[in-house]
Amino acid sequence: MSRASIGDRQEWAGGYRRWDGSAWTYYIKRRDARLGRDPGGRAKRREVCTGAHSEEVALLHLAAFEKNALAYEPSRVVVGRAPLAASGQRAPAGLYRSADACTP
């Protein structure tokens, strides 16, 4: 496989991934009737950056999108647990959320 150039795209199960020069960023590209219909009667398409840099995390985003395409917001997808505090106790903060790493 040749080396990826900035902006290169590859298909994945939920849409495509784009090389930003240091990592792949995953995008969801789907048609869903819950989003409405275009003038031709087809389900509207939504294309959104997940902010994920691994397919495993991107699949979590895809599951959230497919559960409710209208309410999907990348920053609300839970991708882990709260970190442990220095004392060994769980930090009181909420769960980690996905970072918004999308670039045009």
Give pLDDT tens digits along the chain (104 positions): 578 899 999 999 999 999 999 999 999 999 999 999 999 999 999 999 999 999 999 999 999 999 999 999 999 998 877 666 666 555 444 444 444 456 55
- Give the structural domain span for 4: 1-104
Structural domain count, the chain: 1
SS (H, E, C) 44-91: CEEEEECCCCCHHHHHHHHHHHHHCCCCCCHHHCECCCCCECCCCCEC
pTM: 0.73
- Report CA 33 to chain centroid distance, whole Å: 20
